[in-house]
Amino acid sequence: MSTTESKPCLACGESIRQVAKKCPHCPQIQSKLSSLQFVVPVLAVVVVVAFGLMAWLFYGLLAGAYDSTEYQQHLVVLDEIVHVEDRPGGPYVSCMGRITNGSPARWRDFYFETTFLNADGKIIDTLSERAPALYVRPGQDAQFRVRGVADKSGALYKSCRTRIKSAYSSRVER
C-alpha cells in the first residue's frame, strides 16, 4: 500500500486504506465522530446529575422549609431518663427520651441541648449534640439520645431535661 492510499486507524493506529469504513485489525468504525463516541453519554450523565442536584437543592432544601421556632410548641420532648456508665476514661452520661411531632412538617437535623440535674434539681452538667440522622414525621414519635463524657461523678446525675435548640424541615407532609 502506498502512503497516499492509506491512513492510520483512529483506534489502533495500524495502517488502513484511505476509503476504509472499518479497520480490519480492530472493530473500530473510521469516522471522525466515532472518536467522540463516549462524549455524548458522559455529557448526558453530567446534565442529568446537574439538573437532579438543582432540583434536590430547590425542592429538598428550599421549598416549603419551616423555621423550628415557629413550631417549637409542637415538637415535644417526653420520657427522658438518665443513664450513667462507668468507662475507663471516666463516667459517660446519656439522656434518652422521645420526641413527638404535632406539626404538619417532617423534621430532621435536630440540635439538642440537655441539662443534667442532681437530686436537689440543680444543674450539674450540660451537653449539646446534633442528630442529623433523626427524622420525625407529623403525628409520629422518635427516640433520641444525647450523650457524652460526664464532668462530675456518675452518682450525681439523677435527671435530665432536653430542649430542641433547632430542627430543620424540608417539606410539608400531606
Residue range(s) defining the domain that contains residue 22: 6-62
The SS3 call for residue 82 is: strand
Same domain, 82 and 156: yes
Number of domains in the chain: 2
Digit-coded pLDDT (tens) for 62-117: 545 555 567 778 889 999 999 999 988 889 999 999 999 998 888 888 999 999 99
pLDDT recorded at residue 142: 95
Choose one of 62, 83, 105: the last residue of a domain.
62
Predicted pLDDT at 34: 56
> Is 147 found in the same domain as 85?
yes
Residue closest to 75 by CA, chosen among 127, 128, 140, 126: 140
96 forms beta bridges with 81, 145
Which comes out higher in pLDDT, residue 168 or 139? 139
Question: Is residue 82 domain-shared with residue 157, that is, in the same domain?
Answer: yes
pTM greater than 0.85 (yes/no): no
Torsion of Cα atoms, 129 then 134 then 138 then 143, to 10°: -80
Instruction: Note whether 46 and 88 are same-domain residues.
Output: no
Q: Which of 46, 62, 78 is the last residue of a domain?
A: 62
Radius of gyration of the chain (CA): 31
132 and 157 inside one domain: yes
Residues 25 and 73 in one domain: no
Q: For Cα atoms 68, 78, 144, give the angle at the middle one, nearest 5 degrees.
A: 70
On whether both 141 and 74 belong to a single domain, the answer is yes
Question: Are 15 and 45 members of one domain?
Answer: yes
Per-residue pLDDT tens over the stretch 5-51: 888 988 888 999 888 888 888 878 887 665 556 677 888 899 999 98
Q: Is residue 1 part of a domain?
A: no
Same domain, 139 and 88: yes
Residue 48 counted as domain residue: yes
User: Does one domain contain both 138 and 80?
Assistant: yes
Do 165 and 131 lie in one domain? The reply is yes
Decide if 158 is inside a domain. yes
Same domain, 168 and 95: yes
